[in-house]
A and B are shown apart, each in its own frame.
Chain A
């Protein structure tokens, strides 16, 4: 079967759409959860600051720590969440529409690629930082 522009089209069967729907729901769910978690992390730092941890001489230092710790988390999680939610929406569009399944699935894959790419880079940085701290701890900081 070919589409209006002469390209081959594929329409997923109900069983196939069920598997795709599961992925769609879970990617959207994960995107929303990761956005909520990043907001909660920021809120925890703000609450800690409000409780007095940031007062006195440590105030300025605590503010810097808060900004350094939370801003990257917010930015990265925000980007990843948008990509995951976008991928899930593309997969949902695939189920709702007809004769246009392949472009939707490819759009979702491109977004998932972006999200995995960001996750990989952030995880690699985290692992390197963690490994360095672990090494320093094991060697007693000498």
Chain B
């Protein structure tokens, strides 16, 4: 885990500051904090990997350096290029009335372009690199999921047709 991120724990030397039920006596402030009129209400628990709490509650973000940005920028370039090529391929599929191919290439092309946009944000913006990176990871994972499912479907179909043709 990173220094604060992921687990949401406090830095060394800081009092614990977690969710309800973390303290032995509900309604009591943690050790080191003065009693509050009307009872103490613990702050909400920090969800690992989520939320943007101020100060040390904030999830640590990693900022990619110039060399790392170059690698990410390359992936952004090629995923964007491949996305455009897939859209062109989809348009050509429609010309020859291949609706299945059109939908496949359209979906893959659009997801690739979304991944490209998230990756470019990693390079061009500051403070949210990991979030943008994970967005692109999600888009790319969906691309491969679509490809795998459709390839398996088509393979099964082709297998059935081949067996039927050979047996007749």
Contacts and interface: CB of A to CB of B under 8 A. Distances in A.
Given A10-B2, A20-B137, A113 B71 contact: yes
The SS class assigned to the A binding surface is helix
A13 B7 contact: yes
Interface string B26-68: 0000000000000000000000111000000000101110001
The SS class assigned to the B binding surface is helix
Given A19-B134, A113-B75, A119-B82, A26 B92 contact: no
A97 to B, nearest CB: 13
B85 A123 contact: yes
B160 interface: no
B147 to A, nearest CB: 6
A23 interface: yes
B1 interface: yes
Interface residues of A, number: 38
Interface in A23-41: 23, 26-27, 29-30, 33, 37
B155 interface: yes
Interface stretch (A53-61, A62-70, A71-79, A126-134): A126-134
Nearest to B78: A116
Contacts of A134: 92, 95-96
Interface of B: 1-3, 5-7, 48-50, 60, 62-64, 68, 71-72, 74-75, 77-79, 81-82, 85-86, 88-89, 92, 95-96, 130, 133-134, 137-138, 140-141, 144-145, 147-148, 151-152, 155
